[in-house]
A and B are shown apart, each in its own frame.
Chain A
Amino acid sequence: MVATTGLTPAQTKPSARPNPTRIQDGRGYRVFKVFNVLILLGVVVLTLYPFINLLAQSFSSETAIAAGHVDLIPKGFNITTYKTVMGDPTFWENYRNTVEYTVVATAISMVLTTCYAYVLSKRNLKGRGFLMAVAIFTMFFNGGLIPNYVLVNDLGLRNSLWAIVLPNAISVFNLLVMKTFFENLPSELEEAAAVDGLTTYGILARIVLPLSKAVLATMVLFYAVSFWNSWFSAFLYMDRSDLFPVTVYLRNMIAGATSGTNEGASGEQALQVAANIQAVTIVLTVVPILTVYPFIQRYFVSGVMLGAVKG
């Protein structure tokens, strides 16, 4: 539809030579622009709607939710559920676990990724092609769920932080982003530092890393967000609820809602009560991400761009 309206003005106005830089938009294009605003507005609404609905549900009473009255505004205002969830010691324990796992995992991932990316950025290094292939191949072929599971259990990592940290320590995508960044640093600085007697370690620590603050910040965010959001490793390898991250806490809560047992009034009632608690838990889980999101968003965008230079 947009296409056909766009086609007409060109035929009526074959040549626009007198003013080639600022051509008057055709009527079809103006119609398109209106549609464009409407479509993008639709995208915005569709993206935000579930969040606002969730927020409204989290502040509503169970009866209002059960009656299907809650849309964008809370009905039967209620914060007791917030008090209940926030008063649950397991919830806070799991929140603390999430923070702990994220910090440790991000630190280890950063060290390993930085070291390897720096090595890979040295074009003249013998064996670089092999080191590169070792990393790239894992992007397209992996051992699969079962062998990984067997391995982690055999290594005795079950019920420990390392089951979450180690198997995901290096993301090849992040590695390539960092490598690209290091490659683009001016090599003269490093050469001068080498002449002044700095070793490779010294050059990395005192010349390269201070010049790479932007990419390091981006990588920290990439890793931190992915570890913060992860749940599956913990779900697989943690048996005790005091070891769960908050994502698994939430998972166990919503698991009840999908199990497909809602016969009879009592079951229905239980499901609705869960709806309110679920909403509260989801809101409490996403609040940290939503708070930092406006500030970290552009770092993510720049990181993806850096990665794309190569990919």
Chain B
Amino acid sequence: MLDAYVTALGMVLDPYVLFVITASAIYGLVVGCIPGLSATMATALLVPLTFFMPPVPAIAAIVTTSTMAIFSGDIPGCLLRIPGTPASAAYVDDSYRMTQQGKPELALGIGLWFSVLGGLFGTAVMMVASPAIADFALGFGSVEFFWIVMLGLGGAVFIGSSTPLKACISLLIGLMIAMIGMNNPAGQPRFTFDSTEMLGGVSLIPMMVGMFACSEVMRHMISDGGAPQVVVKKIGPIFANMWRLTKQYPWQLIRGSAMGTVIGIQPGSGADMAAWMSYAMSKRFSKEPEKFGTGHPEGLIEAGASNNSSLAGAWIPALVFGIPGDSITAIAIGVLMMKNMSPGPTIFVNNPENVYALFLVFVIANLLMLPLGWAIIKIATRVLSVPRRILMPIILLFAIVGSYAINNSLFDVGVMLAFGVLAFVLEENDFPVAPVILGVVLGPLLEEYFINSMIKSDGSLIGLVNRPIAAVLAAITVGIIGWTILVSIRGSKAGKPAAQE
């Protein structure tokens, strides 16, 4: 393993890779900082560029961008009370209150310092846990994998979502989109409408760019779109009180990091849920819960560490089982597959140096966040005033060219537009978009595992549950789904009399 790490270090310290890491870091920080541009969109727009890179820099670009964007989403939350990414929404009241009290540097410093510590914690867990889990999973057959994918999809739809039924419909639509083409166990063209372009299925990159970038441009068009007013003129020394706060709140840091990692591992819940739950937990166990929401550092520390550690946590099931925890890891899995590094337990056998390189990129990205994060905070007031009416058209053009570039195909530009419109209509009607992308990424795998398992058992459904690990996974999946349905039925019964009064 040490040898592989040495090889990996050599791959990461390559000047080209270091350049890609630095460039994506700056890109992620700037995009995450601008309200209305999400970390997911930043990552999706980058995918066409990674298409042209070797595997290690491609993955490095995705990891670095998402890590940086999640942190810098704290900046507009703190300065404008507009969270840059949903993951920063949990503690925006506390951080904005600090700004009003004339201490923006304290809020931003906490965001930066504890994001780095939380991110490093999550990375350490990922480095230790994923090879071990992968080793255990080497003995899994198609039946176990079928249930792991089901568990991942079930978790995504039924745990993280406020509207499980609509999320379920989104997921099924995604799974059906994945059926298009001849990439199925029988090699039979399906739903291609006799078009040769559709034989290979819907290309993933234009689809992701459309769903996460084109749709956001469309949403911008129906909003007013002016740059928000920044009142803060000067930001003081950022790292001044951090060591004191670390010594004052060590438990909050550890609890937030651990909670974030666990929530990240659990498929379907990502950085935003980690931040909300950690903030609530911090308040629950605090000696001074009444101070929460008034510019108190405690909740910020715990939730800020939590949302960054969840990013690394989400990579564990993504790498070991190929199950994305959220839309960013879904995009990352798409990139891994594109680079012939299909995730799964064998990735540690086939491509160990690439995986270890990915771990090292996480470490480097988190360390690099200290100087670059400091720099972005110092120029934040200027970045925030970049007008979105200038940015959005450029993003649209980038989306068009990015979709075109991978196959030199105008058909792919049309695919991008179609999925942009689809995502826009879905979101307008409160259907979440992330399950669609999970469905498209996992659809072919799910079908393959299902059909292979059924062939092994001669078409008997018992074959899906007659191995012990498969049975346990099946029970957990059914439990999650059943419990959610039960809760929602009870909720609607309890809600009705109240509504009638």
Asked if A and B bind, the verdict is no
B positions within 8 Å CB-CB of A: none
